[in-house]
Amino acid sequence: IKKIAVLTSGGDSPGMNAAIRSVVRTCAYMKVDCVAVYRGYQGMIEGDFKPMDARSVNNIINKGGTILKSARCNDFRTPEGRKIAHDQLLKAGIDAFVVIGGDGSFTGAMIFNREYNFPVIGIPGTIDNDIFGTTFTLGFDTALNTVVECIDKIRDTASSHNRLFFVEVMGRDVGHIALNAGVGAGAEEILIPEENLGLDRLLESLKRSKESGKSSSIVIVAEGDKSGKNVFELKEYVEEHLPIYDVRVSVLGHMQRGGAPSCFDRVLASRMGVKAVEALLEGKTNLMVGIQDNQLTLTPINKAIKGHTKIDKELIRVSEIMTT
Any contact of residue 107 with ligand ATP (CB under 6 A)?
A: yes
Q: How far is the CB of 279 from ligand ATP (least distance, A)?
A: 19
Three-state DSSP at 67 gives: coil
The distance between the two most distant Cα atoms of the chain, rounded to a whole number of Å, is 70
The Cα–Cα gap between 93 and 96 comes to 10
Per rule CB under 6 A, is residue 14 in the interface with ligand ATP?
no
One character per residue 31-60, x = contact with ligand ATP (rule: CB under 6 A): ----------x-------------------
Size of the site for ligand ATP (CB under 6 A): 17
Measure the CA–CA gap between 165 and 246, rounded to whole angstroms. Answer: 9
Smallest separation, CB 48 to ligand ATP (Å): 14
> What is the four-CA torsion angle of 284, 290, 296, 302, rounded to 10 degrees?
-30
Q: Is 171 in the site for ligand ATP (CB under 6 A)?
A: no
245 makes contact with ligand ATP (CB under 6 A): no
- Nearer residue to ligand ATP within complex by CB, 82 or 229: 82
**Of the candidates 8, 9, 113, 262, which one interacts with ligand ATP according to CB under 6 A?**
9
Cα separation, 170 vs 224, in Å, equals 8
Select the residue interacting with ligand ATP from 108, 122, 171, 175 (CB under 6 A).
108
State the burial class of residue 260 (Cβ atoms within 10 Å of its Cβ: 0-12, 13-18, 19+): middle
Contact between 315 and ligand ATP per CB under 6 A: no
**Looking at beta carbons only, is 9 or 299 nearer to ligand ATP?**
9
Q: Strand 163-169 vs strand 49-52: parallel, antiparallel, or unpaired?
A: unpaired
Among the candidate windows 99-107, 145-153, 189-197, 281-289, which touches ligand ATP by CB under 6 A?
99-107
Burial (CB count <10 Å: 0-12, 13-18, 19+), residue 179: buried
Residue 133 within binding range of ligand ATP, rule CB under 6 A = no
CA distances to 9, 119, 176, 294 from 108, rounded to whole Å, are 10, 13, 25, 28
Cα dihedral 236→242→246→247 (10° resolution): -40
d(CA 169, CA 192): 10
Residues labelled catalytic: 128
Q: Which of 33, 103, 188, 189 binds ligand ATP (CB under 6 A)?
A: 103
Q: Minimum distance from CB of 300 to ligand ATP (Å)? A: 16
Nearer to ligand ATP, 103 or 189 (CB): 103
What distance lies between CA 15 and its chain's CA centroid? 10
Side-chain-side CA neighbours of residue 10 (13 Å)? 20
Least Å from the CB of residue 290 to ligand ATP: 15
**113-132: contacts with ligand ATP (CB under 6 A):** 126
| Cβ–Cβ < 8 Å for 192, 175 | yes
69 touching ligand ATP, by CB under 6 A: no
Site of interaction with ligand ATP (CB under 6 A): 9-11, 41, 72-73, 76-77, 101-105, 107-108, 111, 126
